[in-house]
Amino acid sequence: MEEIDKEKLPRHIAIIMDGNGRWAKKKNLSRISGHIKGVDAVREVVTACRDLGVGVLTLYAFSMENWQRPKEEVEALMELLRDYLLKECEEMVSNNIRLSAIGRLEDLPANVRTTLEEVMKKTGSCNGMILNLALSYGGRSEILHAVREILSDFKKGKIKEEEIDLPFFSRYLWTRGLPDPDLLIRTSGEFRISNFLLYQIAYTELYLTETLWPDFNREELLKALADYQSRERRFGLTSEQINGL
């Protein structure tokens, strides 16, 4: 069992949950079976983060590019997502978890969107942890959306050019109000960012593991946290500056 320092936990963990398809293929199962097992991993990791005291967990559940997958797979993922939200709502409320979502939520099927909004409303006053789902999400589109909103507010005379600094820009992103991720985990041995939180991960620590998402569990999360805690985060400074030498 890994030793975790509760005082040095990441405030925000973001995860690219990859490898459901390969997990299924290895077992001669359908890709959908991989996603079903992936949902079990989601449950375990959400509970583990809540138990540990992580403030925000962002899960890359569906990218804008994922709409191009075969129709049956897209439909199955949407159904799994809705099912998860319906089943977990009570659990989220009793564990004081607030649900939020980022992405082009207007792209989601109406029933998924309605369920998502209902769960966000029901968990709206929970303050133990934020579970943030990235749905129909793309990092470049998020940045473009922010630029368009800023331009629109500028034209309306709501903002002045001098106001536009980095904290201001962050408030126009879908992640407004959330701290930037301290730790980004990607499963399944890929070394890519895949259009995830491009603006927010400027100083995020990356943890890449060969483990496929359906096999990712509490123990794997603790390994990632132990690795994270062994690093020195310098944010562009020198080691001496960080340690006050």
Q: Please identify every residue annotated as catalytic.
A: 18, 66
Output 42 or 201, the one with its CB closest to ligand FPP: 42
User: What 8-state DSSP symbol labels residue 31?
Assistant: H
**Strand 12-16 vs strand 183-186: parallel, antiparallel, or unpaired?**
parallel
Site string for ligand FPP, 186-225 (x = CB under 6 A): --x------------------------x------------
Question: Does residue 19 interact with ligand FPP by CB under 6 A?
Answer: yes
Q: Which residue has the tokens 């890709």?
A: 31
Binding residue for ligand FPP, selected from 9, 14, 81, 173, defined by CB under 6 A = 81
Question: Does residue 108 interact with ligand FPP by CB under 6 A?
Answer: no
Angle formed at CA 202 by CA 197 and CA 206, multiple of 5 degrees: 80
Output 42 or 221, the one with its CB closest to ligand FPP: 42
Q: Which pair of tokens denotes residue 60?
A: 């890359």
Contact by Cβ (8 Å): 46, 54: no
Output 10 or 214, the one with its CB closest to ligand FPP: 214
Q: Interface with ligand FPP by CB under 6 A: which range of 74-82, 119-127, 157-165, 174-182?
A: 74-82
Q: Which residue is nearest to ligand FPP (CB)?
A: 21
Output 175 or 188, the one with its CB closest to ligand FPP: 188
Question: Does residue 183 interact with ligand FPP by CB under 6 A?
Answer: no
Contact residues for 177 (Cβ-Cβ < 8 A; gap 6+): 171
Q: Which pair of tokens denotes residue 178?
A: 């959330």
Distance (Å, whole) CA 34 – CA 204 = 28
Distance (Å, whole) CA 90 – CA 95 = 9
Site string for ligand FPP, 26-65 (x = CB under 6 A): ---------x--xx--x----------------x-x----
Contact by Cβ (8 Å): 187, 41: no
Distance (Å, whole) CA 17 – CA 137 = 14
Provide the binding-site residues for ligand FPP, judged by CB under 6 A: 17-22, 35, 38-39, 42, 59, 61, 66, 77, 80-81, 84, 133, 188, 213
